[in-house]
């Protein structure tokens, strides 16, 4: 497994750090049992086979495990996860480069 080239930078993108922090925060709040997430994460990584894993594929597996546990444990409904994912993609497309992505962003008012 090759996770990044700089040991002082474990994340290649802000979303990876946010996903990591959200996972830990939900665990610490008692909403995401660590053993459940670890089992789902192991399965997601195993599903990648013997392919070389970089940060992008590693955190894609992390996200897959995170969503799986949220849905299977009833923390979020499958529709909520897919709706929020689509809303985020729409907001990202509507937000000019250099501005923070805001899910409340309207397409006619990017970045506000």
Q: What is the number of other CB atoms lying within 10 angstroms of the CB of residue 51?
A: 7
Question: If you average pLDDT over residues 106-111, what whole number do you get?
Answer: 47
According to the model, what pLDDT value does residue 30 have?
A: 93
pLDDT reading at 1 higher than 70: no
Q: Contact, 4 vs 29, CB < 8 A?
A: no
Instruction: Note the pLDDT tens digit of each residue in 10-68.
Output: 888 888 888 999 999 999 999 999 999 999 999 999 887 766 667 778 898 999 999 99
According to the model, what pLDDT value does residue 97 have?
A: 83
**Burial bucket for residue 112 (CB in 10 Å: 0-12, 13-18, 19+):** exposed
According to the model, what pLDDT value does residue 85 have?
A: 81
Q: Contact, 32 vs 75, CB < 8 A?
A: yes
Maximal C-alpha separation, the chain: 45
Instruction: Note the pLDDT tens digit of each residue in 79-107.
Output: 888 888 888 778 888 888 888 877 774 44
According to the model, what pLDDT value does residue 50 have?
A: 67
The tally of CA atoms less than 13 A away on the side-chain side of residue 43 is 12
According to the model, what pLDDT value does residue 3 have?
A: 52
């Amino acid at each position: 497994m090759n996770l990044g080239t700089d040991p002082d930078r474990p994340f290649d993108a802000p979303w990876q750090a946010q996903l990591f922090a959200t996972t830990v925060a939900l665990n610490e709040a008692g909403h995401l049992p660590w053993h459940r997430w670890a089992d789902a994460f192991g399965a997601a990584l195993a599903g990648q086979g013997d392919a070389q894993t970089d940060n992008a594929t590693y955190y894609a597996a992390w996200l897959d495990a995170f969503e799986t546990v949220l849905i299977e444990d009833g923390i979020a409904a499958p529709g909520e996860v897919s709706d929020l994912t689509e809303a985020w993609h729409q907001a990202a497309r509507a937000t000019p480069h250099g501005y923070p992505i805001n899910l409340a962003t309207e397409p006619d008012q990017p970045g506000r």
